[in-house]
Structure 1
Amino acid sequence: MAQLHELVTPDSICLNARARNWRSAIRVAGKLLINAGVGSPAYTDAMMKNVDEHGPYIVIAPGFAFAHAQAPGLVQRTGMAWVRLRKPVKFGNELNDPVTLIAALASADSTQHIQAMRQLITLVDNDQTRARLQTAADVQDFMAVLGHLNRQ
């Protein structure tokens, strides 16, 4: 099973991205997935539809959203994108808005990403790790934080 840092490449991380609202924030993440050969434009639409239909439940911790969709037919391979926004946006989650950090997962099946999800939960539960992602100076520092989760 894939580790969290194995699903991310330097090209699938965008630091200090600009977004007007939650939709454009998810589009940034979706474009990273597309450029990495992981997702498709239809998968990006499915992630937004997920929020439209189920509300902002993807905002799972203060300032952190986990964008995803159940649409394996729209995914070429399992992968992940990370977006850190320059200015936070609101998703409509009273408890955890506004969001500055978004992880987007595209899974080709129902099992490849399980270990990565365990590590993501560890990340979300740790205020210090989230803070390190918020303040990483560059993509290499960001990747180092994700790789550190594998050793915990």
Structure 2
Amino acid sequence: MEGLVLTEKNVKLQVSADSWEEAVRIGGQLLVEQGCAKPSYVEGIIRAVKELGPYIIISDGLAMPHTRPEEGAAAIGCSLITLKEPVLFEGDDCPVKVMICFSAVDSESHMDILKMIVEFVERGLIDDIAKAETYEELLEIIKTK
């Protein structure tokens, strides 16, 4: 896949999180560290999920944490985390094991990230991505299947 948006800086594999909130904070912190979002953006995601329900779950095992740009998005960016133990969101009984957080500054700029996510789902890669132990393994899964 050309223009891969996942790097060793924005990927964390086999993360331990006690709750969906902690998992969102871990993925969101990667956006903050990259300068793509302010801490308020991460809190905005959590607040939105509590208010609106688990709208960020987009497929079995996959959540896509994001919120409105005005909550603190500074630039376009994404992060991918996999969870050692899946987390459950209130109001949904599907365990989430892969989270791809993203920040966008408008409604168009994140289309490459969305295309990547759709491709992962369509190619049935979520379970394999969830099992990856290393960044290199993750790249192999994304490239070969």
Same fold (TM over 0.5): yes
Q: 1:53 aligns with which of 51, 54, 68?
A: 51
Structure 1 length normalisation: TM-score? 0.83
Structure number with higher helix proportion: 1
One-letter identity of the residue aligned with 1:124: V
Contiguous gaps of at least 5 residues in structure 2: none
Q: After superposition, where does 1:2-151 map in structure 2 within 5 Å?
A: 5-6=4-5, 8-72=6-70, 74-94=72-92, 97-127=94-124, 129-146=125-142, 148=143
* Cα RMSD for the two superposed structures: 2.2
Does structure 2 conserve the Cα–Cα contact (< 8 Å) formed by 1:37 and 1:77? yes
Higher relative contact order (CA 8 A, sep 6+): 1
Please give the secondary structure, in 1, of the residue aligned with 2:9.
helix
Match for 1:100: what amino acid? K
Instruction: Could you list the structure 1 runs, at least 4 aligned residues long, displaced by more than 6 angstroms after superposition.
Output: none
**Residue-pair matches, total:** 144
Task: Report if the CA contact (8 A) 1:10-1:140 is conserved.
Answer: no
Identity of aligned residues (%): 24
Cα distance in 1 between the residues matched to 2:71 and 2:30: 18
Name whichever of 75-84 and 110-119 sits farther off. 110-119
Partner Cα distance (2:70, 2:138) in 1? 27
In structure 2, what is the Cα distance between the partners aligned to 1:53 and 1:4? 35
Contact 2:78/2:113 (8 A) holds in 1 = no
**Distance in 1 separating the partners of 2:122 and 2:70:** 27
